[in-house]
């Protein structure tokens, strides 16, 4: 991780890590829980849960609103979380970190504010064909408001961007002189594809295009360094990175954030209010109207400190081992096809089985205590691209084991005996 605050990383030991997650001791339908729905929301280590609970038990005051002791403690804890996130993603300033309720809110903030700042009739916003609905719909809304056009980078059969469409390659019709914004996912939530975002960002910067990256699926699995990536904005959620739900971040370059208009009005984001005119607070508070999810933000900071305690390279190697083993064993099942076979992937496997509905399979896996996700995963255009209505998706985290992968494979085989 970038600029780690830990001098010494803890050795990776999956059983030691598992012991820190209380929910892994739960039974589902009388069976030990096998949790493979981490791309939807990851589980939380005990210290994150305790940090959030401790706020309510011992502080429970609003931030930046009072001089009393509890308010001061709440403010210090929230701003410590902001600094932790800054270090983790190697942002230049703490005020480059905007707290939101999640990736969806972060991208809506970006689309609303950038749309107002940049877009006019005939301008273009470029996204890719593998985007989550949260990185499609906000840009559609912005385009509709301002008369702009949404353009889509196509996807190959392996689940990667069609590189022939990228400037500098065989064809040059993704960016034009009307392109104002590029909004792309770092990692696909459905396919697990790790996209070459740094390369495309560099191409966009040459043309003065503002770049927005959806990092929801990357933040828990990759070394995210926003300065190295060169992006203008980077969005992610806390709950997919071992933190609480209802928390998120929008990182932004200081000079761009200064130019962007606020997208919500209310308390905290103001400097002076009169009935004639309002002036806005300095960063980051210009974009943080109202009382934030203070307990969640404190828990988010603790989740990032927890991740900093471990060697991210070792965790990535463990998750890749799970991915390779699951891929090999699942492909041995007759009629099973994996959707998304990119060379670079995180631990996500989406698959379909001939003659079997994903919902039926997911229900039977649940009866065996195995939690997977079924459906279109908020990527309906991507499902249409591959000609399927949905998939069964298993997504891995650092606390998953090879034995659990074997349980998944055995569970699929058992389910097929009932469905075929």
Q: Give the catalytic positions in this structure.
A: 378
Give the span between the Cα atoms of 395 and 214, in whole angstroms: 18
Give the span between the Cα atoms of 160 and 175, in whole angstroms: 18
Give the span between the Cα atoms of 9 and 312, in whole angstroms: 9
SS3 64: coil
Inter-CA distances, 303 with 85, 225, 247, 279, Å: 10, 18, 11, 35
Could you tell me if 349 and 326 are in contact, meaning their C-beta atoms sit under 8 angstroms apart?
yes
* Residue found under tokens 């084991």: 401
Task: Quote the radius of gyration of the chain (alpha carbons, Å).
Answer: 22
Inter-CA distances, 239 with 39, 133, 141, 300, 419, Å: 10, 18, 26, 8, 34
SS3 381: helix
Give the span between the Cα atoms of 349 and 414, in whole angstroms: 19
Could you tell me if 115 and 217 are in contact, meaning their C-beta atoms sit under 8 angstroms apart?
no
Q: Which of 287, 264, 235, 261 is nearest to 118 (CA)?
A: 261
Could you give the count of Cα atoms lying within 13 Å of 129 in the half-sphere of its Cβ? Answer: 20
210-214 and 233-237 beta bridge pairing: parallel
Could you tell me if 36 and 371 are in contact, meaning their C-beta atoms sit under 8 angstroms apart?
yes
- 149's CB contacts (< 8 A; 6+ apart) are 122, 123, 124, 125, 143, 178
Give the span between the Cα atoms of 237 and 220, in whole angstroms: 10
């Amino acid at each position: 991780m970038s600029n780690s605050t830990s001098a010494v990383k803890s050795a990776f030991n999956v059983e030691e890590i598992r012991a820190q997650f209380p929910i892994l001791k739960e039974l589902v339908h009388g069976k030990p829980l096998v949790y493979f729905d981490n791309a939807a929301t990851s589980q939380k280590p005990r210290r994150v849960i305790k940090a959030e609970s401790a706020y309510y038990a011992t502080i429970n005051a609003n931030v930046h609103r009072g001089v009393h002791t509890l308010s001061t403690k709440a403010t210090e804890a929230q701003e410590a979380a902001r600094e932790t996130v800054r270090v983790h993603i190697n942002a230049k300033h703490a005020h480059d970190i905007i707290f939101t309720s999640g990736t969806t809110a972060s991208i809506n903030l970006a689309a609303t504010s950038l749309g107002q700042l940049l877009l006019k009739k005939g301008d273009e916003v470029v996204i890719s064909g593998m985007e989550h609905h949260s990185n499609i719909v906000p840009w559609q809304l912005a385009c509709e408001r301002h008369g702009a056009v949404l353009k889509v980078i196509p996807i190959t059969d392996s689940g990667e961007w069609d590189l022939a469409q990228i400037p500098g390659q065989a064809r040059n019709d993704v960016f034009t002189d009307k392109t104002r914004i590029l909004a792309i996912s770092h990692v696909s939530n459905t396919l697990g594809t790790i996209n070459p975002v740094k390369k495309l960002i560099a191409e966009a910067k040459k043309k003065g295009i503002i770049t927005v990256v959806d990092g929801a699926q990357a933040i828990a699995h990759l070394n995210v360094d926003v300065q190295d990536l060169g992006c203008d904005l980077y969005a992610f959620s806390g709950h997919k990175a071992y933190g609480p739900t209802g928390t998120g971040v929008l990182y932004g370059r200081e000079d761009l954030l200064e130019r962007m208009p606020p997208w919500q009005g209310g308390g905290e984001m103001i400097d002076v209010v009169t009935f004639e005119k309002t002036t806005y607070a300095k960063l980051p508070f210009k974009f943080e109207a109202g009382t934030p999810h203070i307990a969640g933000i404190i828990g988010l900071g603790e989740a990032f400190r927890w991740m900093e305690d471990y060697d991210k390279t070792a965790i990535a190697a463990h998750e890749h081992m799970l991915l390779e083993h699951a891929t090999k064993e699942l492909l041995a099942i007759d009629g099973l096809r994996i959707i998304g076979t990119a060379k670079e992937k995180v631990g996500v496997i989406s698959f379909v089985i001939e003659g079997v509905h994903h919902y039926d399979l997911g229900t039977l896996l649940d009866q065996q205590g195995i939690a997977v996700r079924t459906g279109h995963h908020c990527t309906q255009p991507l499902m249409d691209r591959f000609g399927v209505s949905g998939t069964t998706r298993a997504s891995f985290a650092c606390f998953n084991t090879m034995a659990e992968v074997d349980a998944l494979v055995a569970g699929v085989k058992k389910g097929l005996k009932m469905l075929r």
